[in-house]
Amino acid sequence: MVQLTQEHKQIILNSIRDIPDFPKPGIVFKDITTLLNNPKAYGLLIDHLTNRYKQMNIEYIVGLDARGFIFGASLATKLNIGFVPVRKKGKLPGDTISEKYELEYGFDEVEIHKDAFNNKNAKVLIIDDLIATGGTASAAAKLVKATGVTLVECCFILNLTFLDGVKKVEQFAPVYSVLDI
């Protein structure tokens, strides 16, 4: 597999700004909007992911609501494959299946269309901007697997290693993160 050089990792990392005390005091929010408006950094990232996944015969990319849509749709276009959204409960029309997951204070729920994948033998990649505690990603992985397709990998641009969310997701598929923080 193609590895991202340290220089390219640094370009991508430098394009992501920190917003202290957002959404609440003590949290440093990783703002990817500055990555998205940096054509060099975003191009390096999407080219790297394209090179990583082009030989895996993936047929669909599942993007998680909402920032996973940005990376997933771009990558799906580059790979000429389908894109499937996993959305917050109540946002998708038609027949869906859903999965609840635990938050710091309470629960949330995500869903996917029952007929999201035309080929039940399809190989699928999940992508999102960041993995923290792994709740959303593991719920999405359960949903994808419930449809009967093969979940090849879960990909994250940023992995907040101190929160250890990768361990939750690795129960369902291998995990790849571009940057570990």
Cis peptide, bond prior to residue 23, ω within 30 of zero: yes
Active site (annotated) includes residue 104: yes
Specify which residues 124 forms β-bridges with: 60, 151
d(CA 146, CA 60): 15
Nearest Cα residue to 110 out of 130, 129, 84: 84
Q: The tokens of 29 are what?
A: 């929010």
133 sits in which H/E element: none
DSSP 89-128: TT-S-SSEEEEEEEETTEEEEEEEETT--S-TT-EEEEEE
* Active-site hit among 52, 104, 109, 111: 104
Q: Of these residues, 67, 99, 109, 111, which one is catalytic?
A: 67
CA 166 to CA 139: how far, in whole Å? 13
Structural tokens at position 1: 């597999």
C-alpha 56/C-alpha 81 separation (Å) is 12
Active site residues: 67, 104
